[in-house]
């Protein structure tokens, strides 16, 4: 049996991927930190897709021992797709972090995803499609969101390098850069504060997941989701980096979020 492995399956975007993959008739191996949430998600999906093969395993991707336990379980299967959705978008001034929170955010966003790539490549079916969910934030140096933007930037860079390294090997890598997504209440509140821009640029989890799957199918290596986010990305290249950092600092110092 061949599976699609989805990390962060219990989150808003992860669920959208699970639903779309089941709709496409794929078997899914889903993971998140909470066994209870995974069990409930499986039950919910089985109501809509009674014939689906849904396997779950709870794993903290920020903990290598927890990853080893999952690898021991998942090692029984072959994978035709890996969708690395898990991430932690903690946003606050750097000096308000403690060591534990710093390590968690860096590991959840980067180390966990890289480790999953290595595992799935060594347990790949004939072909493997990897989709890494990064963020448009990874394209900028972002004061007050510095850990997140740096970790997502690293994930983007790693994904593009890996795509080239594995060219022609049967493993395709696509890194996806969404802007804001209509998800948790704290993210919705942030989108609301963006006014007209929020209305134009923010997308639903289903839209982002659909576009990500389409981009991967088309063999794209990087996909910025949404025309407004693409336009801002290219326009921002005309702005000197120092000025850009100053503008970001003013805007992002006004908000904080930590749902983890
Ligand atoms: N929301 C946005 O506006 C936005 C924009 C751009 C990019 N993104 C990226 O999109 C992805 C999904 O975001 P979302 O809004 O759907 O987030 P979410 O609803 O908060 O879900 C996050 C998911 O990641 C999992 N997770 C977090 N830390 C983990 C860890 N250490 N080990 C294993 N799983 C962990 C969570 O599992 P639990 O259920 O156990 O908590 C949950 O399934 C993230 O990578 C995020 O950075 C989001």
Question: What whole-number distance in Å separates Cα of residue 133 and Cα of residue 162?
Answer: 15
Q: List, for the chain, all residue ranges whose pLDDT scores fall below the cut of 70.
A: none
Q: pLDDT at position 178, please?
A: 98
pTM score over 0.95:
yes
DSSP secondary structure of 101-133: HHHHHHIIIIIHHHHHHHHHHHTEEEEEEEEEE
Decide whether any atom of ligand 1 lies within 6 Å of the 87 Cβ: yes
Q: pLDDT at position 1, please?
A: 86
> Ligand 1: which of 15, 34, 87 to mutate, judged by most atoms within 8 Å of the beta carbon?
87
DSSP secondary structure of 194-211: THHHHHHH-B-HHHHHHH
Strand 2-7 with 78-84, pairing? parallel
- What DSSP state is assigned to residue 247? H
Which residue's alpha carbon is at the smallest distance from atom 26 of ligand 1? Answer: 86
**Domains assigned to the chain:** 2-252 (3.40.50.720)
In angstroms, the Cα distances linking 103 to 79, 106, 109, 111 are 29, 5, 10, 10
Decide whether any atom of ligand 1 lies within 6 Å of the 226 Cβ: no
Taking the CA of residue 108 as reference, the ligand 1 atom at the shortest distance is: 31
Decide whether any atom of ligand 1 lies within 6 Å of the 130 Cβ: no
Question: What whole-number distance in Å separates Cα of residue 19 and Cα of residue 14?
Answer: 9
Which residue's alpha carbon is at the smallest distance from atom 35 of ligand 1? Answer: 86
In angstroms, the Cα distances linking 85 to 14, 167, 175, 192 are 6, 23, 11, 24
């Amino acid at each position: 049996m061949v599976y699609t492995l989805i990390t962060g399956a219990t989150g808003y975007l992860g669920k959208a991927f699970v639903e779309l993959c089941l709709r496409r008739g794929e078997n899914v191996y889903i993971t998140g930190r909470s066994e209870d949430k995974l069990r409930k998600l499986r039950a919910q999906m089985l109501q809509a897709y009674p014939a689906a093969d849904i396997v779950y395993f709870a794993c903290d991707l920020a903990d290598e021992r927890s990853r080893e336990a999952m690898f021991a379980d998942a090692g029984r299967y072959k994978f035709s797709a890996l969708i690395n959705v898990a991430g932690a978008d903690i946003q606050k001034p750097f000096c308000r972090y403690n060591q534990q929170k710093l390590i968690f955010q860096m590991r959840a966003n980067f180390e966990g995803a890289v480790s999953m790539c290595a595992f799935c490549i060594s347990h790949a079916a004939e072909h493997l499609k990897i989709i890494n969910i990064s963020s448009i934030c990874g394209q900028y140096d972002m004061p007050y969101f510095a850990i997140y933007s740096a970790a997502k930037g690293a994930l983007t860079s790693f994904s593009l390098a890996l795509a080239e390294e594995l060219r022609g090997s049967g493993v395709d890598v696509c890194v996806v850069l969404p802007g804001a997504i209509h998800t948790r209440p704290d993210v919705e509140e942030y989108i609301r504060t963006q006014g007209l821009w929020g209305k134009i640029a923010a997308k639903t989890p289903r839209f982002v997941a659909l576009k990500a799957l389409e981009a991967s199918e088309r063999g794209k290596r990087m996909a910025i989701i949404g025309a407004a986010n693409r336009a801002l990305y290219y326009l921002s290249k005309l702005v000197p980096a120092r000025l850009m950092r100053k503008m970001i600092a003013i805007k992002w110092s006004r908000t904080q979020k930590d749902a983890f």
